[in-house]
Each structure stands twice: as structure tokens, then as C-alpha cells.
Structure 1
Amino acid sequence: MDFRQLRTFSCVAELGSLSKAADKLRIAQPALSRQIKLLEHELRTELFTRSGRGMVLTEAGRVLLARTAGIVRQIDQIRDDIQSAAGAPSGRVVLGLVPTVSCVLSGRLARRTVETYPGISLCIVESYSGHLIEWLHRGEMDLAIIYGPSADLHLNIQSLGRDPIVAVGPRGSGLARKKQVGMDWLLRQKLVLPSHSHGLRALIERAAAKRKLNLDLQLEADSFRVLTSLVEAGLGYTLLPPSSVRSEIRERRLETATISGQAPMRELLIASPIDHPDSTATSVITGLLRSETAACRDERLWDIKLA
């Protein structure tokens, strides 16, 4: 196996198409196909199932991608860092954001990157913390903002700040009028939450167990937009940072109330893989994340308490 073959394999796996990979790598499609066939011949197994709809990884292909994606990313970053040393920062950065942060930061961060660092190619991936942590460990992602706690994550961690959590309900639920509700009351309502693998669900379940309450949980949603739409439809309450539903509150589609007593807060972390150093481009994006987060706080778009 050589690096050129592995990079071609990784690109085809990512895009699911030889033609798209050829366009991205600027290599003729027959040459790419030949590299894949040589790699399959060396490994004595098929890495893709080929069909009219594209290229789909076989089980062997998935194993190879899991083992080599991080290596390919690191070698690409070495090239980018050497080029950046002689000029402006350049290279590709894959950034993961939890949905409640993405809806506040994505547009601002993308604009700052394009305006200030045109040599950096930024790929923003939105998902819940559980998925982002897995992609960081596999080396498929350079950087992510996830929710804590940081114990046992086996990642490089920097604290970004703490995000308050409020009760969120549909229009007419009375939350806006009450302004504040107790956690005991909220946990007795019908709730809409992510599935067990996600941090928000664990936070709520710990609060319920502490009070010896059983959650009334008929609906789960592992999509942030689906979750808020289910609440908006009157199918239950949820708990979210107020910044993530600012537009829905302004349009009177949702209502919120603070939680009395020791209101829950979530720690936000900047995480990166532990087994390779940040590239120049990744460090630049980390700095932009911090400055844009501070700007959102100063503009009162985000109630985050910075670290």
C-alpha cells in the first residue's frame, strides 16, 4: 500500500463515487479506478461494492477506512503545515459542532474563515456529542465542540464555557407566563429527548433518578430540528440552551422558562484527537471559535459563561 492509493481510497469512500473523487483530486477517473483495483489486488479482497448508484464500502473497506483515515488526515496536515510556514495558513479542517452550538456559531464562523483565511477549507459537521467523539477517535475529524464532562474521553480537551439549560415548551404552554418552573414539575411532564447515547438524555435521567422519578418519555429524537418540531407540535417539553431556540421564541413558536433552584448547566469543550498535534489551520479555527463565542456573548446572542 502506498499513500496515493490510501488517499484515493479515502476520497472515494467519503464521496461514494469515482467521478466525484476524480473531480476533487483532479485525477482522471480511469487512473483512480486503477489505483483502487491495485489496492484490492494487494489486499486480496474487494473494498467497494460497485453499482449504478455509486461505490459502497464492503466490510473489509470499512475496516481499512477505520484504520487509515487518521493516517491520511495527518499526512495531508503535514503538507499543509509546511506550506503554511511559508505563507498564510492553509489546509482542510473538519469541525464538528453539537446542534445547539451549530445554530449559533456555524454561519459566523464560516464567514470569518472565508474573509480572513481564504486558504483554509472548512468542513462543518453537525451531530450530537456521541457521534462527534467517535469520529474524533477515528481521526476523521480534526476538531469539535462537544458537551462535557471530560472524564474518560481520551481526547485533547479545552474548556470553552458553561451553557445554561432552560425548560422549552410549545406556544400556549404557559412557560412564558410562569417565567420559572421547578425541576420536579418539569420532570413530571411529557418529555421529548434524544436517545440514551447522548449527553442531554443522561443529564435529565440523572436528575430524575436523584428525585426517584420515572420519566414520561414516549418520543425520542436524535435530530435537533426534529426534537424542536415535536415540542412545537405540542407533543412534550424538552430542555435546551435558550440560545438554540432564540428564533423560535422570537417568532412565538416556542416558550421557555428558567429552572428554579440549582439550574442545570452544561460544560462546553473544544476537543481534538489525542494522537496527533493540531495543524496550523486547526489552531487558527480554534482561535476563531473562541473569538466568535465571546462576540456572541457580548452581543447577547448566547448566554454562555466563558471559561
Structure 2
Amino acid sequence: MDFKQLKALVTVAEVGSVTRAAEVLYLAQPAVTRQIRALERELGVVLFERTREGMRPTEAGAVVVHHGRRALHALERARADVQPTPGVVTGNVTLGLLESTSDLLVEPLVAVLADEHPGIRLRLVIGYSGHLRQWLDDGDLDLAVLYNLGSTPSLNTHPLLRERLWAVAPASDGLRGDRPIPFAEAADHPLVMPAADHALRTLVDGAAAQAKVELDVAVETNSMRVQKQLVQAGHGWTVLPGVGVAEEVAAGLLSAAPLGDPEVRRSIVLAAPRITRSLAAVNVVARTLIHQVLSAVAEGRWPSAQARPPHS
């Protein structure tokens, strides 16, 4: 198993075609086919099957593609580490962001990196906190924004902020950001909520128990976009961080207010694998992201958020 074989394997899996993979790799099509077949002979398994949609990895192929992609990523990082350009930070960085934070953070982060560090190639992955945590542990991410992360020996964490969760309702219900509402009042409405295994749902269920109220969950979905769509259409209320609904509230599409009695808060951290030596590019992205978060809090663009010092 060599680098060329892994590159061919991963490229065919990503583009779904040997012909297209050959174009991407600047190789003749028979050369790509030979590399895939040599890898199949070495491993003793079939890696791809032909379908109407193109070349699709078999079950065994998907496993090899997963490990091959990680191996190629590690090699790219090693090359950037040992062959730096003097005075220029270069490298590939994979950053995981929570869906609720992406609208606020992505564009400013990309703009700053493009202007000040064009040698950094950023890959953004949007997901739930639990998924991002797992991808960090698996080595698929270099950094991730997570919330309510307890002490863990596998990750280094930098506290960013604490923020309140908000009740979110149709615009006609007239909720206001300067008028918190009791949790029990929000619970009087049918709710559109994440499934029970979602970290935000765990926070809300805990608050419901504290307030001694029953939740009327009308719909469950693990898509924040769908939550907001259903609330806007009048199918109930929901609970989300204020940063996740700021644009819709400003546009008059939704109304929202911080929850109280009890308040419901989540802690946001920036996490990185503890066992990996950070490249200069990873450190640059981390510093830039931290600055973007703190600026958003200081300027009031992150509703109900309080910045946290690193050792708080």
C-alpha cells in the first residue's frame, strides 16, 4: 500500500468515477485502474462496485477510504511541517463549527485568513457538538467549537463564552430580547425540539425538571434550520441560542426572548486533540477564531453571551 494507491482510492471515492479521478490526478485512466486493482489484490477485498451513479465504495472499501483519507491528511500536515516557507504560515486546517455559530463566524474568519494568511487552506465542517467531539477524537478535525464539554484527557480546551438559551416563537407572538420569559411560559406551547440524544435537548429537559413542568414536544428534528422553519410556520415554539436566531429576529421572521426561572445556559469552548502537536497554521486559525468570538461578544453581536477568561 503506497501513497499513489491511497490517493487514487480516495479520489475515485470522492468523485465517483475512474475517468474523472484520472483527470483530477493528471494520470491516464488505466494507471488509476491499476492502482485500485493492485490495492484490492494486496488487501484481498473488492473496494468498489459499479452503479448507475458511478463507482461506489463497498463496505470494505468505505473502511479503507476512511483510513486512507486520514493517512493522506497526516502526510500533508507532515509535509507542511518540515517544508515551511520562511515567514509564511501554510498548511491545511480542518475546523468544526456548531450550526448555531456558523452564520456569525464563518465569513469573518475566512475573510481574515484570506487577507492575512493566504497560505492556509481551511476546511469547515458543520455539525452537532457530540459529532464534532467524536471527529476530534478520531483525528478528523484539528479544532472544533463545542459546548458543555466536561473534563476530558483527550482534548485541550480554551473557554470562550457562556450564553443563555432563548425561547423562539412566531413573530406575531411578540417575544422581545429585553424581556426574559419564565421557562414555564415557554413550556405551555407545543415545542419543536431536537431528539432526546441531542446536547441542547438535554439542557432543556434538565430545565424542565427544575421548573417542574412537562414539555409538549410536537415535533423532533436535529436540524436547526427545520426548527426555525416550523416555528415560523406556526407549528410551535422552540428553544435555541440567541446567536442562532439573531438574523431571523432582526428580519422580523421570528421573535425571541431569553429564558428565565430557571435560566438555561451553555458554555462554549474551542477544543483540539491533546496528543497532536499543533502546526503553526492550526495555531493561527485558533487565535483568529478566538478573536472573532470575543469581538462578536464585545460588540453585542452574540446575544446573551459573556466572554470567559481561559482559566475561569
The alignment's TM-score, normalised by the length of structure 2, stands at 0.89
- Correspondence for 1:45: 45
- Correspondence for 1:282: 282
CA deviation after TM superposition for structure 1 residue 290, in Å: 0.7
CA deviation after TM superposition for structure 1 residue 153, in Å: 8.0
1:175 is paired with a residue whose SS is coil
C-alpha separation in 1, matches of 2:133 and 2:16: 23
2:192 is paired with a residue whose SS is strand
Work out whether residues 162 and 307 of structure 2, in 8 Å CA contact, stay in contact via their aligned partners in 1: yes
C-alpha separation in 2, matches of 1:190 and 1:215: 8
Listed one character per residue, the Cα deviations across residues 227-274 of structure 1 (whole Å, up to 9, x for unaligned) are 111111111111222222122111111111122244211111212234
Work out whether residues 249 and 256 of structure 1, in 8 Å CA contact, stay in contact via their aligned partners in 2: yes
Work out whether residues 73 and 139 of structure 1, in 8 Å CA contact, stay in contact via their aligned partners in 2: no
* Worse overlay, 154-163 or 244-253: 154-163
Unaligned runs of 5+ in 1: none
C-alpha separation in 2, matches of 1:28 and 1:88: 35
- Correspondence for 2:36: 36
C-alpha separation in 1, matches of 2:87 and 2:11: 27
C-alpha separation in 1, matches of 2:27 and 2:153: 39
Listed one character per residue, the Cα deviations across residues 153-200 of structure 1 (whole Å, up to 9, x for unaligned) are 843322222122111111112323992211122223211112233211
Work out whether residues 193 and 219 of structure 1, in 8 Å CA contact, stay in contact via their aligned partners in 2: yes
- Correspondence for 1:306: 307
Letter in 2 for 1:65: V
Unaligned runs of 5+ in 2: none
1:149 is paired with a residue whose SS is coil
- Correspondence for 1:54: 54
Work out whether residues 193 and 221 of structure 1, in 8 Å CA contact, stay in contact via their aligned partners in 2: yes
Q: Give the direction of change, closer, same or farther, for the CA distance of 1:207–1:261 in structure 2 (3 Å limit).
A: closer
Q: Give the direction of change, closer, same or farther, for the CA distance of 1:208–1:15 in structure 2 (3 Å limit).
A: farther
C-alpha RMSD over aligned residues: 2.3
Q: Give the direction of change, closer, same or farther, for the CA distance of 1:84–1:161 in structure 2 (3 Å limit).
A: farther
Work out whether residues 66 and 138 of structure 1, in 8 Å CA contact, stay in contact via their aligned partners in 2: no
Q: Give the direction of change, closer, same or farther, for the CA distance of 1:209–1:21 in structure 2 (3 Å limit).
A: farther
Percent identity (aligned): 36
* Match runs of 1:3-14 below 5 Å: 3-14=3-14
The alignment's TM-score, normalised by the length of structure 1, stands at 0.90
Letter in 1 for 2:291: S
* Match runs of 1:2-151 below 5 Å: 2-84=2-84, 86-151=86-151
CA deviation after TM superposition for structure 1 residue 283, in Å: 1.3
